[in-house]
Structure 1
Amino acid sequence: MDFMNRVAPELRAGLLGLEVIQLPEDLMRARKNADLNASQVGQTSNAVEIVNVYIEGPDENELQLRIYTPVHQNTQERPALLWIHGGGMILGSPEGDDRLCTDFAIRADCIVVSPNYRLAPEHPYPAGLEDCYSTLEWMSEEAEARRIDLKRIAVGGASAGGGLAVALTLLTRDRNGPELCFQLPLYPMLDHRNGTSSSYEMTHPSIWNRAHNIAAWKMYLGHQFNIEVPAYASPSLATDLTGLPPAYICVGELDLFRDEIIEYVARLARAGVKVEFHLYPGCYHASEHVAPEAESSQLIRTEYIERLAQALKREPERETYDF
């Protein structure tokens, strides 16, 4: 059966509407299109304030953080989500996820911080990951001023952002950095080797496919692509997955990342990490964004937003008794 016949009928029209690009040749055009799409997101919700803050990042570069804060008064500390946008490590911006981050903020009553991390090939690994780590440190340092509950900080992202979120959990654990209570990597980009069956299966020109993925990894890793690649760059290489935060991970049946994600999920479980995993039939990479009105898209989106809200819910205080 060819690829299109495997796609859920409600998702086919969205797939046909996607622009076909070639990488790396069309990178600048793809970036312009991503920026244009981000600018057309429009009004999100009056219930959330969106501001940009600029901090000093690694290598003394200026790092933009886009912050989403529920406007209603809350006398208690709020949880926080460090959200990392997707784009193959080579394109995209926080503004493209304004609606999603607004929904996260409303449903989980949390502060969302999304870094405009440096992109490859101009800034290869580890630039983007270090920007994300600096963001996490900033959130920890600003916790008192912004009333962030240090016990309820999560990290998440989609596609390349999901891969960076996974890498960040490894890096934070090994550096004894700020505590993370939860991770939400959605169809994450985990393995530079592109050796799985699903990597060879998904070659349709409109979706994120094998050719795109290989080109993106080469740009992200730069000169390191053909030498020993660190696990913080390509998390599937990590040998020790113990001590990582609980995870919710999902992927479509027709996503080229399917097999590397399934393998990683199994390894998390074997390492004793609490993990919930969903495989969605007939869905391709990021299909809930390509065809947002489809029933499966609404289910996918609702589920991962709800899982975040559950993970960030304040634990009820235990009653104490004097005898």
Structure 2
Amino acid sequence: MTPVRPVVDAELRALSAELPLMPELTPEVVATLRGLPSAPLDALLDGRDVERREVTVTAEDGAEIPLTVLVPPGAVNAPCVVWIHGGGMIMGDRFANLDIPLEWLDRFGAVVVTVDYRLAPDVTGTTLVEDCHRALAWTAENAAGLGADPAKIVVAGISAGGGLAAGVALLARDRGGPALAAQVLICPMLDHRDATTSTRQFTGPGVWSREMNAYGWRAVLGDLTGDDVPAYVSPAVAADLSGLPPAYVDAGSAEVFRDEDVAYASGIWAAGGRADLHVWDGGFHGFDALFPAAALSAEARRTRTAWLDRLL
């Protein structure tokens, strides 16, 4: 028996009626999606008084990792957000969904650092999360020159980027730094096992389906299976969620990642940590990124930003 899908919010259902829903991903489809032009950063920055810096950091294997740094005018001891884009770990770039952290730049003068980590299957295993951790390390080392407070660095991401942000927080804890003030995990991709009720509910065509999710995980895991899968790659398998920075975790009720995200927040609580969990009734995967003006999207963004504002 096929599980029944939760109802989608009426406004979002109408707005998404024309979205192309892919039943599956193939190497050819991914190549086409990767070839689409990047988000127009100039349009996002239009009307904002922001200094843009392009930086390249070097990974341990010698690869060059591009970062874009956005600094508000007169930044002094400002909060700083290391932003990690989504795309199933197989597509996307550092300009994707950048409007989300730009809201935090506007609201509380945050410096934004966004990272172009390498994608699967070009690289596999921990390489993606290591690239993101390298961006975090560079940010902490250069905080003063960016006008940022090293005690107010936040790692944040959406979808695959949310999962990588959780992995970065685990890496930073286990390596003794850099210190993080918070982690913001927006509909994060956390569990390679793909076995929850919510994944089964979203088998078949969708914004992000169980089949698409399985394709992304196969690409990033490569030859890793079973107990060989590190928690830094698939944070849901972490045996110890203690000692992590406060987490904001949210998801839609009508999406693949709902149950694994609820379980992750519950695991943080069980370890004595802080997590603020929101499951938005009627939200599908990435709803507030795709349709930011919808009423549910505006509420989700406003709530997330208010949490960060209180924390920082």
Q: Is the 8 A contact 1:48 1:102 kept in 2?
A: no
Structure 1 residue 125, shift from structure 2 partner:
1.9
Structure 1 residue 291, shift from structure 2 partner:
2.2
CA RMSD of aligned residues (A): 1.8
Structure 2: distance between partners of 1:116 and 1:215 = 21
Structure 1 residue 223, shift from structure 2 partner:
1.1
The equivalent residue for 1:29 is 32
* Distance change >3 Å, CA 32–CA 306, structure 1 → 2: farther
Structure 1: distance between partners of 2:4 and 2:235 = 31
**1:132 maps onto 2:132 in alignment:** yes
* Distance change >3 Å, CA 70–CA 41, structure 1 → 2: closer
The equivalent residue for 1:235 is 235
Structure 2: distance between partners of 1:236 and 1:90 = 19
* Distance change >3 Å, CA 227–CA 11, structure 1 → 2: same
Structure 1 residue 213, shift from structure 2 partner:
0.2
SS at 2:138 equivalent: helix
* Distance change >3 Å, CA 2–CA 15, structure 1 → 2: farther
The equivalent residue for 2:121 is 121
- The alignment's TM-score, normalised by the length of structure 1, stands at 0.90
SS at 1:94 equivalent: coil
SS at 1:149 equivalent: strand
Structure 1: distance between partners of 2:4 and 2:293 = 24
Structure 1 residue 256, shift from structure 2 partner:
0.7
The equivalent residue for 1:320 is none
Larger radius of gyration, structure 1 or 2?
1
**Which amino acid in the other structure matches residue 212 of structure 1?**
M
The equivalent residue for 2:56 is 54
The equivalent residue for 1:11 is 12
**In the TM superposition, what are the counterparts of 1:62-101 in structure 2 within 5 Å?**
62-71=64-73, 73-74=74-75, 76-101=76-101
Q: Is the 8 A contact 2:86 2:96 kept in 1?
A: no
Point out where structure 2 has 5 or more consecutive residues left out of the alignment: none
The equivalent residue for 2:163 is 163
Point out where structure 1 has 5 or more consecutive residues left out of the alignment: 313-323
**In the TM superposition, what are the counterparts of 1:162-181 in structure 2 within 5 Å?**
162-181=162-181
Structure 2: distance between partners of 1:214 and 1:153 = 32
Structure 1 residue 100, shift from structure 2 partner:
2.1
The equivalent residue for 1:42 is 43
**Which amino acid in the other structure matches residue 252 of structure 1?**
G
Structure 1 residue 17, shift from structure 2 partner:
2.2
Q: Is the 8 A contact 1:53 1:67 kept in 2?
A: yes
Structure 1 residue 255, shift from structure 2 partner:
1.2
Quote the sequence identity (%). 36
Structure 1 residue 286, shift from structure 2 partner:
0.5
Structure 1: distance between partners of 2:98 and 2:249 = 21
Q: Is the 8 A contact 1:107 1:306 kept in 2?
A: no
SS at 1:59 equivalent: coil
Structure 1 residue 170, shift from structure 2 partner:
0.7
Structure 1 residue 226, shift from structure 2 partner:
5.7
* Distance change >3 Å, CA 226–CA 247, structure 1 → 2: closer
SS at 2:308 equivalent: helix
Structure 2: distance between partners of 1:127 and 1:117 = 9
Q: Is the 8 A contact 1:14 1:290 kept in 2?
A: no
Give the number of aligned pairs.
Answer: 307
The equivalent residue for 1:194 is 194
SS at 1:42 equivalent: helix
Q: Is the 8 A contact 2:204 2:211 kept in 1?
A: no
Q: Deviations over 1:154-188 (max 9, x none)?
A: 11101100000111111111111211111101111
SS at 2:128 equivalent: helix
SS at 1:279 equivalent: strand
Structure 1 residue 43, shift from structure 2 partner:
3.8
* Distance change >3 Å, CA 154–CA 31, structure 1 → 2: same
Structure 1 residue 302, shift from structure 2 partner:
1.6
Structure 1 residue 52, shift from structure 2 partner:
1.8
Q: Is the 8 A contact 2:52 2:71 kept in 1?
A: yes
